[in-house]
Chain A
Amino acid sequence: MPDIFVGQKYETVADRLSKEKRRGGHAFSAFCLLPGKVRFETQETHEKIILLLRQHWFTQLKWIITAVIMVFVPLSLNQIPLLDFLSDKGQLMAIIIWYLLVVAFVYEQFISWYFHVFIITDERVIDVNFYNLLYKEVSEAKIDNIEDVTYRQGGVIRALLNFGDVNMQTAGEKREFMIEDVPLPGRVVKILNELKLEEEHEKIIGRVR
């Protein structure tokens, strides 16, 4: 039979992106395209992760600088004798306690950033947020339900480092869905629009999961 009767192979967004040069494959990356190893709690068997996003590193500078300053605070005690009323043992213990607090602060801030991820799959968008060690929020929106996607990138730093907020209006229960301070917001919006089109196409050809 001639080839004209064989339909063209359906190429999904994931297929197309897999041909592109991968970006951000390492653990600390804020923009991971098709992160193969990553899995999440509610992931379905055939669901593919297209993008994994974290907040841009620049937004984390505040706590990093605070931590660096905290590390050097005990060194300033030579100049400013704040702990002189304590015995030598007391002073040593106070410094040890200070560094314990620094370690706890750094670890808590780091894992809060590391696990606060936005996952875009071929079916939905998921925002996993750990506000602190004891509070977790997972919200999601199906790609079908996304009505409008915009991004905002205001300010010199955001323009220079190319990061911003992606805002989605959805038809679901949660009307607004915001992905804050992510790298390459324009690219994120483009991928989301492609996924939306793909979902619409799948509906037409009856490939709805």
Chain B
Amino acid sequence: MTPFDQFLQFLVAGWRLDVAILAKLGVWLFLLLYLGFSLVVVRQVKLMSHTVNGFLENQLSIMAWALVLLAVAVFIFSLFFL
């Protein structure tokens, strides 16, 4: 057994880390990042609409907030589902 294998063994056996738990944490981290991204989108759409406006600002703003809602909904869903 190589030292790296021993280290992995130590992580899994000693700290009782499970691959499934790591995967869940990965998914939650991704969804949190996605939520952050969707908030950046809301802010950017606001800034872009401030720079040029006239046609679709309200619709784009609603879509940006819908993206935030989607991100929140999927995050909550994943908390119960996973």
Contacts and interface: CB of A to CB of B under 8 A. Distances in A.
B81 A93 contact: yes
Interface residues of A, number: 30
Contact of B53 (A38, A90, A111): A38
A128 B52 contact: yes
B66 to A, nearest CB: 9
Contacts of A108: 41
A114 B55 CA distance: 10
A100 B54 contact: no
B74 A96 contact: yes
Contact of A38 (B40, B41, B55, B82): B55
A97 to B, nearest CB: 6
Interface string A17-45: 00000000011000000010111110000
Interface stretch (A6-14, A133-141, A155-163): A133-141
7 contacts: A27-B56, A100-B34, A100-B74, A103-B67, A104-B41, A130-B48, A134-B44
Interface of A: 26-27, 35, 37-41, 89-90, 92-93, 96-97, 100, 103-104, 107-108, 111, 114-115, 117, 119, 128, 130, 133-134, 136, 138
